[in-house]
Structure 1
Amino acid sequence: MAGIAALAIAYVLSQFYRSFLAVLTPVLGSELGVTKGDFSVASGAFFLTFAVSQFPIGVALDRIGPRRTAAVLLAVGAGGGTLLFSLATTPLMIITATGLMGIGCAPVLMASLFIFARLYSPVRFAMLTSWLVAFGTAGNVIGTAPLAYAEQAYGWRAVMVGLCLLTLLVAAALLVLVRDPDHPHNTQAGRRGFAGFAELFRMRVLWAIIPLTAIAYAPSVGIRGLWAGPYLADVFSADVLQIGSVTLFMALSMVAGAFLYGPLDQFFGTRKWVAVGGTTISLMAVICLGLYPQVSVPFSTGLFVVIGLAGGSYGLLMAHARAFLPHHLIGRGVTLMNFFSIGGVGVMQFATGAVVTHNIVPDEPAVAYSALFLFIALVLAVALAIYLFSRDAKPSHVA
Structure 2
Amino acid sequence: MATAYVASHFARASNVTIGLDLMRELNIGPEALGALTGAFFFGFAAMQIPCGFLFDHYGPRRTVTGMLILATIGGIIFVLAPTWPILLSGRALMGAGFGAMLIGTMLVITRWFPPDRFSTLSGMVLSIGLLGNLIATTPLAWASQAYGWRAAFGALVVFIALAAIAIWMIVRDAPPGHPFLERTPEPPRQMLQGLLEVLRNRRLWPILVLNFCSYACTFTVQGLWGGPYLREVHGLSPIQAGNVLLAAVIAYQMGMLAFGPLDRILDTRKWIAVGGNLAVVSLLAVMALAPQPPVWVPIGAILGIGFLSAASTMVLTHGRGIFPDRLIGRGMSTMNTAVMLGVACMQTLSGVILGAYEPLASGARSETAYRALFCVLTVVLLTAIAIYSRSQDVKPSDEMRARAKSA
Q: TM-score, normalised by structure 2?
A: 0.92
CA contact (8 A) 2:273 2:312 kept: no
- The Cα shift of 1:249 comes to 1.4
Q: Distance in 2 between matches of 1:26 and 1:209?
A: 35
User: Per the alignment, in what secondary structure is the counterpart of residue 141 of structure 2?
Assistant: helix
- The Cα shift of 1:31 comes to 2.0
CA contact (8 A) 1:63 1:186 kept: no
1:71 aligns with 2:69: no
Structure 1 equivalent of residue 191 of structure 2: 193
Cα distance per residue 1:142-195 (max 9 Å; x no partner): 100011111122222221111111111111111111112233862558772233
- Partner AA of 2:110 in structure 1: A
- The Cα shift of 1:362 comes to 4.0
Structure 1 equivalent of residue 200 of structure 2: 202
- Partner AA of 1:17 in structure 2: A
CA contact (8 A) 2:57 2:186 kept: no
Q: Distance in 1 between matches of 2:182 and 2:276?
A: 36
Instruction: Work out which of the residue numbers 119, 140, 145 in structure 2 matches 1:126.
Output: 119
Structure 2 equivalent of residue 378 of structure 1: 379
Q: Distance in 2 between matches of 1:183 and 1:36?
A: 49
User: Per the alignment, in what secondary structure is the counterpart of residue 207 of structure 1?
Assistant: helix
Mean alpha-carbon deviation: is it higher for 135-144 or for 115-124?
Answer: 115-124
Mean alpha-carbon deviation: is it higher for 173-182 or for 64-73?
Answer: 173-182
Structure 1 equivalent of residue 177 of structure 2: none
- The Cα shift of 1:236 comes to 2.2
Q: Distance in 2 between matches of 1:302 and 1:107?
A: 34
User: Per the alignment, in what secondary structure is the counterpart of residue 28 of structure 2?
Assistant: coil
Structure 1 equivalent of residue 24 of structure 2: 30
- Partner AA of 1:268 in structure 2: L
- Partner AA of 1:373 in structure 2: F
- Partner AA of 1:250 in structure 2: A
Q: Distance in 1 between matches of 2:73 and 2:63?
A: 16
Instruction: Work out which of the residue numbers 221, 231, 237 in structure 2 matches 1:223.
Output: 221
Instruction: Work out which of the residue numbers 69, 76, 84 in structure 2 matches 1:83.
Output: 76
- The Cα shift of 1:386 comes to 0.4
- The Cα shift of 1:14 comes to 0.8
Q: Distance in 2 between matches of 1:366 and 1:87?
A: 35
Q: Flag structure 1 segments of 5+ consecutive residues without an equivalent.
A: 1-6
Q: Distance in 2 between matches of 1:314 and 1:281?
A: 12
CA contact (8 A) 1:323 1:397 kept: no
- The Cα shift of 1:222 comes to 1.6
Q: Distance in 1 between matches of 2:59 and 2:72?
A: 21
- Partner AA of 1:204 in structure 2: R
1:286 aligns with 2:290: no
Q: Distance in 2 between matches of 1:264 and 1:293?
A: 36
Structure 1 equivalent of residue 273 of structure 2: 275
- The Cα shift of 1:74 comes to 0.9
Q: TM-score, normalised by structure 1?
A: 0.94
Cα distance per residue 1:338-381 (max 9 Å; x no partner): 11111111111111221111234646700110000000011001
1:365 aligns with 2:366: yes
Aligned positions of 1:286-305 closer than 5 A: 286-292=284-290, 294-305=292-303
Q: Distance in 1 between matches of 2:152 and 2:378?
A: 35
Structure 2 equivalent of residue 243 of structure 1: 241
Q: Distance in 1 between matches of 2:312 and 2:183?
A: 28
Q: Distance in 2 between matches of 1:189 and 1:108?
A: 24
- The Cα shift of 1:101 comes to 1.0
Mean alpha-carbon deviation: is it higher for 287-296 or for 198-207?
Answer: 287-296
Mean alpha-carbon deviation: is it higher for 54-63 or for 112-121?
Answer: 112-121
CA contact (8 A) 1:19 1:226 kept: yes
Percentage of matched positions with identical amino acids = 36
- Partner AA of 2:7 in structure 1: L
Distance 1:187 1:397, change over 3 A: farther
Structure 2 equivalent of residue 389 of structure 1: 390
CA RMSD of aligned residues (A): 1.8
Cα distance per residue 1:214-244 (max 9 Å; x no partner): 1111222221111112212321233321221
Q: Distance in 2 between matches of 1:294 and 1:174?
A: 49
User: Per the alignment, in what secondary structure is the counterpart of residue 22 of structure 1?
Assistant: helix
- The Cα shift of 1:262 comes to 0.0
CA contact (8 A) 1:184 1:190 kept: no
Cα distance per residue 1:11-62 (max 9 Å; x no partner): 1111111101111123222222232111100111111110110011000000
Mean alpha-carbon deviation: is it higher for 270-279 or for 113-122?
Answer: 113-122
Mean alpha-carbon deviation: is it higher for 178-187 or for 94-103?
Answer: 178-187
Cα distance per residue 1:291-338 (max 9 Å; x no partner): 126323322111001111111123311111111102210110111111
Mean alpha-carbon deviation: is it higher for 232-241 or for 7-16?
Answer: 232-241
Distance 1:195 1:294, change over 3 A: farther
Instruction: Work out which of the residue numbers 138, 146, 156 in structure 2 matches 1:163.
Output: 156
CA contact (8 A) 1:75 1:171 kept: yes
Instruction: Work out which of the residue numbers 319, 322, 326 in structure 1 matches 2:320.
Output: 322
Structure 1 equivalent of residue 7 of structure 2: 13
